[in-house]
Amino acid sequence: MAAVADEDSLRRALAQKQSSIDVQGGAVRQLKSSGAAKLDIEAAVQALNALKLEKASIESQLQAALTGAAGGGSSSASRDAFRQAVVNTLERRLFYIPSFKIYRGVAGLYDYGPPGCSVKSNVLSFWRQHFVLEENMLEVDCPCVTPEVVLKASGHVEKFTDLMVKDEKTGTCYRADHLLKDFCKEKLEKDFSLSAEKAAELKHILAVLDDLSAEQLGAKIKEYGITAPDTKNPLSDPYPFNLMFQTSIGPSGVSPGYMRPETAQGIFVNFRDLYYYNGNKLPFAAAQIGQAFRNEISPRQGLLRVREFTLAEIEHFVDPQDKSHPKFSDVAKLEFLMFPRDDQVSGQCAKKLQLGEAVSRGTVNNETLGYFIGRVYLFLTRLGIDKDRLRFRQHLANEMAHYAADCWDAEIESSYGWIECVGIADRSAYDLRAHSEKSSVALVAQEKFSEPREVEKLVITPIKKELGLAFKGNQKMVTEALEAMEEKVAMEMKADLESKGEVEFHVCTLRKNVTIKKNMVSISKEIKKEHQRVFTPSVIEPSFGIGRIIYCLYEHSFYTRPSKAGDEQLNVFSFPPLVAPIKCTVFPLVQNQKYEEVAKLISKSLTAAGISHKIDITGTSIGKRYARTDELGVPFAITVDSTSSVTVRERDSKDQVRVDVEKVASVVREVTDGLSSWADVLKMYPLHSSETAED
Amino acid sequence: MAAVADEDSLRRALAQKQSSIDVQGGAVRQLKSSGAAKLDIEAAVQALNALKLEKASIESQLQAALTGAAGGGSSSASRDAFRQAVVNTLERRLFYIPSFKIYRGVAGLYDYGPPGCSVKSNVLSFWRQHFVLEENMLEVDCPCVTPEVVLKASGHVEKFTDLMVKDEKTGTCYRADHLLKDFCKEKLEKDFSLSAEKAAELKHILAVLDDLSAEQLGAKIKEYGITAPDTKNPLSDPYPFNLMFQTSIGPSGVSPGYMRPETAQGIFVNFRDLYYYNGNKLPFAAAQIGQAFRNEISPRQGLLRVREFTLAEIEHFVDPQDKSHPKFSDVAKLEFLMFPRDDQVSGQCAKKLQLGEAVSRGTVNNETLGYFIGRVYLFLTRLGIDKDRLRFRQHLANEMAHYAADCWDAEIESSYGWIECVGIADRSAYDLRAHSEKSSVALVAQEKFSEPREVEKLVITPIKKELGLAFKGNQKMVTEALEAMEEKVAMEMKADLESKGEVEFHVCTLRKNVTIKKNMVSISKEIKKEHQRVFTPSVIEPSFGIGRIIYCLYEHSFYTRPSKAGDEQLNVFSFPPLVAPIKCTVFPLVQNQKYEEVAKLISKSLTAAGISHKIDITGTSIGKRYARTDELGVPFAITVDSTSSVTVRERDSKDQVRVDVEKVASVVREVTDGLSSWADVLKMYPLHSSETAED
């Protein structure tokens, strides 16, 4: 918060200085026009120049304050340069490819090229292992094409929109909030003449941007005179654009459908079957990995905001009265960066908390939600996400849907700032209720009591004869309104009827009050025996944006180091073996038939051990071949320099050990499977001098 | 063919018998009306009845002949009953679920439920292992949303259509060929009054159905008086309906897009980058697994014809001058059912051929195509497809695209007949050429010559001055036409000019002939040195319909056996461990805390060994628990009946062995990973009497 206070006082100082300059400038003009003495004029001009110098000094202080506040230390220029280095390497080595490139591409669509595809497949395998298998989840796989009725029930047809404005002359579309955001940021960063009050106003807009209505956004765009960025043409008023790709199912053209915007709905609509499959027991979780689609208005942020992406979602169904988790103790001791709602509001930073304490203090709403936060932390850090650049941020009250009990995002810091990569939400019973209502199929669970329980139940009995006499044709609506009374209202009516004999009662379907008399209704509480409890389960939903996680992983894994000759910087991805696209390369040191045969033999045994690898028998220097594979993040390289034993090199330390040809596949398997570490290997096998080999 | 000959002669006999009946019936009526003697009338009626009996006998022979011909022995009724048993089990155990079931579903869309999802994931993992890893393929992952330009180039926008007819009153749509097919089949199977000629005509229609134009289909529908199946209303003329789901990319509405109908195009458009990634070397293969979409007019055949499905496709790029394969010898000795074009035309059956011979005799066009046929055979049979119900059928000339060099389908026999599950096509250079042309990006490979080669090249040099004098404003078009001449045309012109001094030449852009004189053009052949050859690679494409393979696998794996009490039939899926949705179950024999603890211990070690499993601690009888898991195709069950050792039961033999608690996870791992067989286990561990346990 220090930087913001500075900024505020600097803007005020700047405004004061500007008004002093204006006054002094006026004085100089006055002296000149009145033909004052040369010496007086010179003195006044000197004073003016001194003021201008002071203003320039304040401006550069403000500039520094702004940069510091935005970049958390590193400047925006250096972050852009870092990102460019990562993205260049990724694109050159085909980790990803802009889709349909030979046709000049489509914004927001990317292909995973060969190494990217391997990384993705490794991340998804580990996800399945870590969540589906270890937690015995029920995995399902539903189509992307979804009929309208499902997405009407979920609310997507009505509400899955962004506000859009159009260039009134060219028809080009923009996201209204992006234009307003860009305007405010640009003003704040570059306009030093901004008053402290105006600056505060723009900052307030940035803070509440997501909450602005179409009218409010439109009003601000008009007020600030914002125009189309490319043409400076005037803009239309903002209006909602639905982000789902629409299509039509079947040939008749009368069955609208959409490409699903998330995979979760496929699970909700199957709740009844899955609950049965699980032996009618709660809790249980269902999971799904699949493509989702969002027809973004104007995609930006490269691989982070795309029109088609892979989601991995879990829907964990629990009894709303018991959100404890039997395995919570497995994660309770974990400590990591958390950013609770209150700390955000009071302007503090994320800080390390122990998960168990966060749950027991109520910072995290319940154990199950806490358990998944812990599991997500373990998942991300095992992939190679830097734990110091990972935080769990709680949603502010205005960010959460009205039905949500609590919601935390796993945010990963990248060159674009903190990016939401996993959302972990307790959505209460909202989704199941919505589909129950629309489909008329009960999506509920039962708790059978071992002994029947006595429950006090409200019983409202309208006396039809009296009601009929009193209300004739309106009898049905009055009766229904009486039966629909909530407990509190009914008990008040009972008391009033007993004390006064009659009471005014509003029947909303009639849009008027009627008079209810004592003989028209009987209200009582009765004790009933119940054998089971029927309820709509709550759902806790961890939802993973796989592409975003992978992109952040690329940034966290990337570093450069000088070549041996020191004449260039070499790129390295320090992927852990778990995610590395290829686990190992095999190089004959020189082109030589004997070495090639050994290399092929080793390749065969690596294939048998299930280790993805590549042989490189080109005559390129060994140093260059190492550099090439470092850039793909390959953790180990086997170099064949004899027919009996070979060297194994570890990517980051560049250490090499000598291993027998027969043993090398199993050694590599041990370290890539995580059964032993490189340190263990170093203890077991003789170190090989790398001086000659590396270049 | 015997059955068909029978059918033909039976239909003729039936027609003769009918005309005899007609004649005799006439005679009876004549006798009656002419008041003939009672005895004469009775004799004539007796003769008529005898003829009718003979006709009935021929009808039942025909019925038998038709059933035999259609079912290859098993009747259509028994095939339907078998399918119903499989499908009931699959649906009850959630192998699949009709999508959006609570909203009454959408035809042609299915979810994979938990066990189905595991089977699918196992099949895809094995596909990746068997093809991508073992063959070092470059895997890519492209979006489903595809801009129109790509699918225009591939021909899908114009040609990916089915012919549709509409019920003229209700607007309901049908596939025109399906209606004609149903009509012909129904007539042939049920109408015994059909003449042999008419029967032959209908059979011919069934054979050429795929080749009929819209006009021909429409004419036949009119001729046969075919109406809408549900309403009997008249039908519209057939017209093409594009099977792609259409959508719009971005908010402007001016960028049409489609959901891809196959994954292959994503690979073709990336050819240049992938070729570079492979070190500018051929051959190499790229692979992709992903969703594809076809907006079927009216889906039928359950899980076999759906609107969204998973494809796994390989594009293997080769030099068209060298389609040999270095690993062909690995598969050359394989023998399996093949059905070459000639055998189909001459009415023979598929027969066992050795792959090596089929290639060397030219039955299969080239080694690379043959190699993939062999690899597909290994892939399918290792999954559990019955090798006797798997055949490779070569496309007939009229089935293949004009550019294809050869094409074989892996067809699997199911209750629906022989189903195309994998297509293996040599598509020559068609796809790369099509995208090269539309995108103006060269999608070619180079072969660098070690020594420059001398090549004879045609050189056509128009003499502009003379052409200008002769043709003035038309000079440019004449010049271009001359330069575009093919070698044969040019050499003929050269000869004519030398002998006659001038020649008539058709310029198509002018739509007329012009006279070319000797001084207007010089034509010669020159020897040039070339350092490399530039060419468009051929592509060999194995394309796998994953859902179809899985469905056929379900049918091939399903069997029933009597329960121990003999009072019911129990269902079993005999999946190999490789594809089984769960590898192993853990059952405490009776509900007991000690046994449950042991079960949990074993579960932990199974998880550590990466073996998917399930604990069932319900008090249900052990026999019922076995039956439940047999129905899911779980190959092994561990029953905890002591705290030191447990029994392991194999699903199909029901054999049980006794194994120490500490060892059981590794024993199960060995057999599920295929490192040892159940027979090995039987040798190592003592057999346990299953008599008491099974029920």
What are the tens digits of pLDDT across the range B374-401?
999 999 999 999 999 999 999 988 888 8
The verdict on residue A151 lying in a domain is no
| Angstroms from A150 CA to nearest CA on chain B | 8
pLDDT value of position B601:
93
Q: What's phi and psi for A462, nearest 5 deg? A: -70, 140
CA distance B126 to A180: 51
The verdict on residue B40 lying in a domain is yes
pLDDT of residue B558 exceeding 70, the answer is: yes
- Listed residues B535, B556, B573: the one ending a domain: B535
pLDDT band at A71 (very low <50, low <70, confident <90, very high): very low
pLDDT value of position B692:
47
| Whether residue A281 sits in one domain with residue A372 | yes
DSSP letters spanning A83-127:
HHHHHHHHHHTTSEEETTGGGT--TT-EEE-HHHHHHHHHHHHHH
Under 8 Å between Cβ of A393 and A409 = yes
pLDDT band at B74 (very low <50, low <70, confident <90, very high): low
Mean pLDDT score of chain B: 91
Q: How far is CA B191 from the centre of its chain?
A: 32
Q: What is the mean pLDDT of residues A399-417?
A: 91
The verdict on residue B309 lying in a domain is no
CA distance A424 to A409: 6
pLDDT value of position B580:
97
The minimal CB distance from B171 to the residues A247, A252, A255 is found for: A252
User: What DSSP state is assigned to residue B524?
Assistant: E
In Å, the largest CA–CA distance within chain B is 109
| Whether residue A677 sits in one domain with residue A635 | yes
CA-to-CA dists, residue A222 to A193, A204, A216, angstroms: 21, 17, 10
The minimal CB distance from B241 to the residues A251, A272, A607 is found for: A251
In Å, the largest CA–CA distance within chain A is 108
Q: What is the mean pLDDT of residues B492-505?
A: 91
B93 burial via Cβ count (<10 Å: 0-12, 13-18, 19+)? buried
Residues in chain A within 8 Å Cβ distance of B109? 143, 145
What 3-state DSSP class applies to B462?
A: strand
Q: How many residues does chain B have?
A: 695
Closest CA to A617 of A636, A635, A597, A642: A597
The verdict on residue A449 lying in a domain is no
The verdict on residue A34 lying in a domain is yes
Asked if B695 has any chain A CB less than 8 Å from its own CB, the reply is no
Percent of chain B with pLDDT over 70: 97
| Whether residue A368 sits in one domain with residue A326 | yes
pLDDT value of position A8:
82
Tens digits of residue pLDDT in B411-436: 999 999 999 999 999 999 999 999 99
Asked if A253 has any chain B CB less than 8 Å from its own CB, the reply is no
Tens digits of residue pLDDT in A464-495: 899 988 998 888 889 888 988 888 889 999 99
pLDDT band at B71 (very low <50, low <70, confident <90, very high): very low
Tokens 């700390």 found at: A343
| Whether residue A387 sits in one domain with residue A310 | yes
pLDDT of residue B694 exceeding 60, the answer is: no
What 3-state DSSP class applies to B128?
A: helix
Residues in chain B within 8 Å Cβ distance of A270? 97, 101, 111, 113
Closest CA to A405 of A361, A369, A358: A369
Q: What share of chain B is helix, strand, coil (3-state, %, to 5)?
A: 45, 25, 30
pLDDT value of position A96:
95
**Choice between B585 and A206, residue whose per-residue pLDDT is larger:** B585
| Whether residue A216 sits in one domain with residue A67 | no
Residues in chain B within 8 Å Cβ distance of A109? 143, 145
A198 burial via Cβ count (<10 Å: 0-12, 13-18, 19+)? middle
* Count of domains observed in chain B: 4
Tens digits of residue pLDDT in A332-365: 999 999 999 999 888 888 999 999 999 999 999 9
Residues 580-619 on A with a CB inside 8 Å of B are 607, 610, 612, 614, 618
Helices and strands (DSSP H and E) totals, chain A: 23, 29
Residues in chain A within 8 Å Cβ distance of B272? 102
Tens digits of residue pLDDT in B620-646: 888 899 999 999 999 999 999 999 999
Q: Please give the interface size between A and B, counted as residue pairs whose CB atoms are below 8 Å apart.
A: 218
Tens digits of residue pLDDT in A177-197: 999 999 998 888 888 888 888
Q: What's phi and psi for A405, nearest 5 deg? A: -85, -35
| Whether residue A438 sits in one domain with residue A312 | yes
The verdict on residue A17 lying in a domain is yes
The reply to whether residue B252 touches residue A439, judged by beta carbons under 8 angstroms, is no
CA distance B527 to A535: 88
CB neighbours of residue A691 within 10 Å: 8
The verdict on residue B125 lying in a domain is no
Asked if A266 has any chain B CB less than 8 Å from its own CB, the reply is yes
CA distance B328 to B358: 12
pLDDT of residue A1 exceeding 70, the answer is: no
User: What is the rounded end-to-end Cα distance, in angstroms, of chain B?
Assistant: 50
Q: What share of chain A is helix, strand, coil (3-state, %, to 5)?
A: 45, 25, 30
pLDDT value of position A211:
81
Residues in chain B within 8 Å Cβ distance of A134? 607
Residues in chain A within 8 Å Cβ distance of B150? 100, 103
Tokens 């009205």 found at: A402
The winner for highest mean pLDDT among A176-190, B29-43, B286-300 is B286-300
CA-to-CA dists, residue B155 to A145, A553, B242, B261, B312, angstroms: 23, 39, 11, 11, 21
CB-based contacts of A203, cutoff 8 Å, min separation 6: A184, A188
Structure tokens at A622: 């060994």
pLDDT band at B152 (very low <50, low <70, confident <90, very high): very high
For residue B340, whether the previous peptide bond is cis, meaning omega lies within 30 degrees of 0, is: no
pLDDT value of position B693:
45
Q: What is the mean pLDDT of residues B216-242?
A: 93
pLDDT of residue A508 exceeding 50, the answer is: yes
B346 burial via Cβ count (<10 Å: 0-12, 13-18, 19+)? exposed
The CATH number assigned to the domain holding A485 equals 3.30.720.200
Q: What is the bridge-based pairing of β-strands A256-259 and A161-166?
A: unpaired
Asked if B99 has any chain A CB less than 8 Å from its own CB, the reply is yes
CB neighbours of residue B360 within 10 Å: 13
Mean pLDDT score of chain A: 91
| Whether residue B680 sits in one domain with residue B588 | yes
The CATH number assigned to the domain holding A176 equals 3.30.40.230
The reply to whether residue B295 touches residue A612, judged by beta carbons under 8 angstroms, is no
CA distance B153 to B150: 5
CB-based contacts of B593, cutoff 8 Å, min separation 6: none
Counting other chains too, the contacts that B324-328 makes at CB distance below 8 Å and 24 or more residues apart are: B324/B366, B324/B367, B324/B368, B325/B367, B325/B368, B325/B370, B325/B371, B327/B371, B328/B356, B328/B359, B328/B367, B328/B368, B328/B370, B328/B371, B328/B374
| Whether residue A330 sits in one domain with residue A304 | yes
A232 burial via Cβ count (<10 Å: 0-12, 13-18, 19+)? exposed
Asked if A437 has any chain B CB less than 8 Å from its own CB, the reply is no
The verdict on residue A42 lying in a domain is yes
- Listed residues B223, B242, B261: the one ending a domain: B242
By residue range, what is the domain housing residue A406?
A: 88-143+260-444+538-564
Half-sphere exposure in the Cβ direction for B342 (13 Å, CA): 4
pLDDT of residue A599 exceeding 50, the answer is: yes
Under 8 Å between Cβ of A505 and A513 = yes
Q: What is the mean pLDDT of residues A583-591?
A: 91
| Whether residue B674 sits in one domain with residue B597 | yes
Closest CA to A283 of A530, A535, A545: A535
pLDDT value of position B69:
52
| Angstroms from A551 CA to nearest CA on chain B | 15
Optimal mutation site among B93, B100, B118, B441, interface A, most CBs of chain A within 10 A: B100
Q: What is the mean pLDDT of residues A74-90?
A: 88
The minimal CB distance from A291 to the residues B138, B144, B146 is found for: B144
pLDDT value of position B210:
82
| Whether residue A428 sits in one domain with residue A356 | yes
The reply to whether residue A140 touches residue B113, judged by beta carbons under 8 angstroms, is yes
pLDDT value of position B2:
45
The CATH number assigned to the domain holding B673 equals 3.40.50.800
Optimal mutation site among B103, B297, B313, interface A, most CBs of chain A within 10 A: B103
Of A255-259, A276-280, B299-303, B358-362, the poorest mean pLDDT is in B299-303
pLDDT band at B59 (very low <50, low <70, confident <90, very high): confident
| Whether residue B236 sits in one domain with residue B178 | yes
What 3-state DSSP class applies to A294?
A: coil
pLDDT band at A399 (very low <50, low <70, confident <90, very high): confident
Residues 150-169 on A with a CB inside 8 Å of B are 150, 164
- Listed residues A73, A96, A123: the one ending a domain: A73
Tens digits of residue pLDDT in A247-289: 999 998 889 999 999 999 999 999 999 999 999 999 999 999 9
CA distance A389 to A391: 7
The torsion region of residue B104 among left (phi > 0), alpha (psi -120 to 50) and beta comes to left
pLDDT of residue A72 exceeding 50, the answer is: no
Closest CA to B420 of B428, B429, B431, B409: B409
| Whether residue A542 sits in one domain with residue A630 | no
